[in-house]
Structure 1
Amino acid sequence: MTEPNQPQPDPNKPEPTIPPLDTIADSERMPPRTPRTAPPRPAPIRLRDDVPTGALVAFGVIGSAAVLLALIKGVPKVMDWSHHQDWRWFTQWVATVADPVHAYLAAHTAGLPLTASSAFVIWQGVGLAALILAWLTGAVGARLTWIAHGACTAAMVWDAAPAAGRPVATALVVLAWTIGSLFALRGLSLRPVLNLHNHPAR
């Protein structure tokens, strides 16, 4: 029910029209970009102009004396220390890895033009070259070669090592490969790289 004094709406009165929406281009909506200028870098130090000649000569003399002192005093001590160390653990580690590989190659190169000794040399050369190239260049091919070399080495040692010492020999291969991977796979990250391109609006 409506109140008696309330005016009644006129049914014949037209409804108000809605004005059309004016679209604005995106280039007009966004404020113009202002280029970001990097802070000025300090000028590099020029040895000839900024450092006195006497200081350069003093630094050269002190540096040369320090190098000579390190060579005279340090090298004999290092050599004396190395002579008193027992390095049999290292040679035994190398033999634990290399002997099964050589035995595997000798057993699986029968009837091939390639001898077991040549295959063993190739195995050593490929591993060393892949390690050095992956370390110095970080190339994908060198790193893949290093990974494949480690996997093949572990498989050969697992197959040719004695049954009783097979797990230990394979573990030593993996440990040696991971130590080399500290250099060969340096800087490698498993996190995905997201490239976000901010295109200007048209």
Structure 2
Amino acid sequence: MEPQFDAGIDSPADASTAPNVPAARRVPAWVTRADTWVVAGVLTVLSALAGGALWLLWKLITGLIAVLDAGGEIAGDAGRAAAGWLATGPITRTITTPVHAYIDTHAAGLPATAEQLRWGWLLTGVVLLVAASVGARGARIGWCLHGVSTAAMAWAASPPDNRELAVAVTAAVWSLLAVPAFARATAPRHTTIVITRPAGADSAESQVTR
């Protein structure tokens, strides 16, 4: 018979099983600090303000682009209308119609056709005007002669009752176009004259005085 022993406190029967509870996680100290939440709030407000400012700026830019686009279309339409009026308007046709009629009537028997002469008359005027505007003196004389010949053709090919008016319109248009052609001719020129005394003139003058 085996001896019986008193288990006491070391007896497995008396050992209590502790529950398997995980240890509580420690919260970082910076999370519980008041200044951390203040900084977070300030950053949140600043981010919201920055987002609103960017959205407003984007709206302003897109609106400005739309306005400029619409204005460009309006300006383009106005420019095309003005260019068409200048090219084929009544003032221009008052000059070009009799000039073309004169050229068409008197071009028979010439090597150049009437259309070639019309283009030559137009291109000659453009070249003379551009050259006169940059200061070519010969081009200024040629521009005046071109205007006189144009007025003469307008006089000859216009109806008898409207010849004076056609020549007056031609002279007015040529005078307006001559403003840039003769702009530099009227610009004043300044000449600076520097007079220097020869070396030793003061000493010679002092000796004569003595």
Shorter-chain TM band: 0.5 to 0.7
Report how many residues are paired.
137
- Structure 1: gaps (5+ residues): 1-66
SS in 2 for 1:129: helix
SS in 2 for 1:164: helix
Alignment of 1:100 with 2:98, yes or no, is yes
Q: Could you say which structure has the larger radius of gyration?
A: 2
CA distance in 1, matches of 2:108, 2:194: 57
Q: Which of the two has greater helix per residue? A: 2
One-letter amino acid of the counterpart of residue 161, structure 1: S
- Percent identity between the two aligned chains: 31
**How far did residue 200 of structure 1 move?**
8.7
Q: Could you list the per-position Cα deviations for residues 80-138 of structure 1 after superposition, in whole angstroms to 9, with x for gaps in the alignment?
A: 55688894996111111111111111222221111111111100000011111211x21
CA distance in 1, matches of 2:141, 2:81: 39
CA distance in 2, matches of 1:159, 1:98: 13
Alignment of 1:142 with 2:139, yes or no, is yes
Which runs of structure 2 are paired with 1:10-29 in the superposition (5 Å)?
none
Which runs of structure 2 are paired with 1:3-82 in the superposition (5 Å)?
71-72=68-69, 74-79=71-76, 81=78
Distance 1:107 1:81, change over 3 A: closer
- Structure 2: gaps (5+ residues): 1-63, 199-210
Relative to the length of structure 2, the TM-score reads: 0.52
Q: Alpha carbon RMSD of aligned pairs, Å? A: 3.8
**How far did residue 152 of structure 1 move?**
0.6
Equivalent of residue 183 in structure 1, options 180, 183, 186: 180
CA distance in 2, matches of 1:88, 1:190: 29
Distance 1:194 1:159, change over 3 A: farther
Relative to the length of structure 1, the TM-score reads: 0.54
